[in-house]
Structure formats: structure tokens, C-alpha cells
Amino acid sequence: MKRFLFGFAALSLLALPCSFAEENASAVKLRKIPDKLVVLTFDDCNKSDRAFVAGEVKKHRFGATFYVTEGLGFLRNKDHYVTWKEIAELHGMGFEIGNHTRTHPHMPRLSKERMKGELTHIEKRCEQYKIPRPVTFCYPGFGHSPTCVEVLTEMNYLFARRGVGPEFKDGGKGARGPAYDPRVDHPLLVPTTGYAGPDWKFEDLVWAVEQARDGRIAVLCYHGVPALEHPWVNCDPGDFRKHMAYLSKEGCTVIAMRDLAHYVDPAKGPGDPYAPIRARVAGKK
């Protein structure tokens, strides 16, 4: 099914002006993963996504993914959460809009049908606001299962981001996690290398960037800047500015999740998606 997607993309190039088509035809060949390749993601539709984060990220010409959900307080508190119009603006600014489900449920508890319903709802909303169908996903509350991976595969998602565990301890207030190793990890179980919160300090960001070498990629996750309703995953705007300035100073290549497809073939992955996770956990003992 993924091949069909790429085939379709290749066909659509035929309709484009020659130089653009040539540029994209060559882009299909995977690029070498540079050291300090960083994926930047923002979960949960916090108001700061549009009001603060987008401008700061844009200043550095970084890519980023905003993972949208209509769960949490999205439907009841528009002072704390972005509107769909603002989400459409984020798309218009060149950012990726990723799927983070309709109601932000613990996915492993749901039937396959309900999982699909959660995903389809966000896809339909995107269509309504002229945002391309999301091609990457983020597990709400970091909860995933083999069935979720199956559903995402069936629905042609290319990459999905999980949390820092079980390889790293997660106290729920920001933590370090594994670097994403595309030679090992399944593309629908991309780990988070660091997520912001009171327990995740500047030195943890530095550590995450240090992990991004020899083919491994650092995947960062932020929630609100600030996270008005979820202080345990808060990042202060001043700290966030310092983080972005650090990525810039270090010469990091900072991309959205979907841009991983320039470096990694999402059709490839281990036969058992969970084998690499088990191996890492076993290796740490």
C-alpha cells in the first residue's frame, strides 16, 4: 500500500514544471542521514503552537510537526487550545499537521474499528480545512500496541512517534529517551529522544543532540510553551528560545516527521515491530 502512495506521488510529478519534477525525482533517492539531524514535534494543539512556537521555529527556518487532536480541552477551551483556522495557518506556514486522534484516548484499549474512527475524524477535519491528509501519527499519552501498528500500516501512515519508554524511565514530567535508529527501529514506533517538562533540562537537550550521530536521529517532543493545562509537560518560552538558538548554533538539520521520508524508507522495518524495543530493554539490564 505504501508503494502505491509513492507511485501516486511519482505520477503527480508528471503534471509539474520540468525543473520541479527533476528536483523531486532526485529527492526520491534517499539522502544520507547527517549528524545532528533533529525531528521537532509539538503535541496536543496548545494555544502557543500558533501564538508563539510557530514564529520562533520559523525564525530559524526549521521544520516541525504539530500533532492535532480534538481531545483534552480542544472543544471546550479556546483560550488554551488552537482553533482549526489556526491549524490551517500552521499548514500555510509550511509546517506539517500530524494526526493525534479525535479524542486523545489510550489507543491500546480500543478496537481496530474505533482506532480507525479516531484517525479518520482528524483526516476529515484536515480535508475540510484544505490541509493535506496526515501521513504521520503520534500516540496519545505515548500508548501503543501491535494492533495500533497494524491499523497505522493499513491506513498508509509512514511514521509514528511513541514516547521514551520502556527503554528509558518516564516520570511523566519530561525525560530522556532513545535516539531513533532507522536501521533498527520500526518506522511506526519511532522513539522520543527527549520530551520537555520540569525534569528535562537544557543539558538533556544537549545530550539528545549528541545522540544524533552515526545514522541515528534525535526526536524532540514539546507540548505547550507554556502548557497552560498540563504543567507537568510545560516549557517556558524563554527556555524554548534558548533551545531553538542552541539547535541553530550547533548547525542541526531540524525537520518535521514527514521529512524523515527523505532519509528513511518507511516501507522497511523489522518483521516484528517490537523486537528492537525488547532488544534495547534486554541490553540495558
| Smallest distance from Zn ion to CB 138, Å | 7
Nearest one of 269, 268, 260, 217 to 27, comparing CA atoms: 260
| Smallest distance from Zn ion to CB 223, Å | 7
Q: How many CB atoms lie within 10 A of CB 15?
A: 7
**φ/ψ (deg, to 5) at 275:** -55, -45
One-letter identity of residue 108: P
Q: Which is nearer to Zn ion, 44 or 185 (CB)?
A: 44
Q: How far apart are CA 83 and CA 105, in angstroms?
A: 20
30 close to 248: Cβ distance less than 8 angstroms: no
Helices (H), 192-232: 202-211
Q: Which is nearer to Zn ion, 140 or 177 (CB)?
A: 140
List of residues 6+ apart from 21 with CB closer than 8 A: 13, 14
Q: How far apart are CA 135 and CA 44, in angstroms?
A: 17
Restricted to residues 43-62, the positions that interact with Zn ion (CB under 5 A) are 43-44
Please tell me whether residue 170 binds Zn ion under the rule CB under 5 A: no
Q: Which is nearer to Zn ion, 142 or 240 (CB)?
A: 142
| Smallest distance from Zn ion to CB 14, Å | 39
- 228 secondary structure, DSSP code: S
Which residue is at the shortest CB distance from Zn ion?
43
| Smallest distance from Zn ion to CB 221, Å | 9
DSSP 3-state of 65: strand
x-marked contacts with Zn ion along 74-93 as a string, rule CB under 5 A: --------------------
| Smallest distance from Zn ion to CB 240, Å | 18
| Smallest distance from Zn ion to CB 190, Å | 15
Residues touching Zn ion, count (CB under 5 A)? 3
Q: Which is nearer to Zn ion, 57 or 138 (CB)?
A: 138
| Smallest distance from Zn ion to CB 172, Å | 13
x-marked contacts with Zn ion along 111-150 as a string, rule CB under 5 A: -----------------------------x----------
Restricted to residues 6-45, the positions that interact with Zn ion (CB under 5 A) are 43-44
Q: Which is nearer to Zn ion, 234 or 253 (CB)?
A: 234
Q: Which is nearer to Zn ion, 43 or 252 (CB)?
A: 43
List of residues 6+ apart from 253 with CB closer than 8 A: 34, 36, 37, 38
DSSP 3-state of 217: strand
Q: Which is nearer to Zn ion, 71 or 182 (CB)?
A: 71
* C-alpha torsion angle, residues 109, 111, 116, 122 (rounded to 10): -40
Residue ranges in contact with Zn ion by CB under 5 A: 43-44, 140
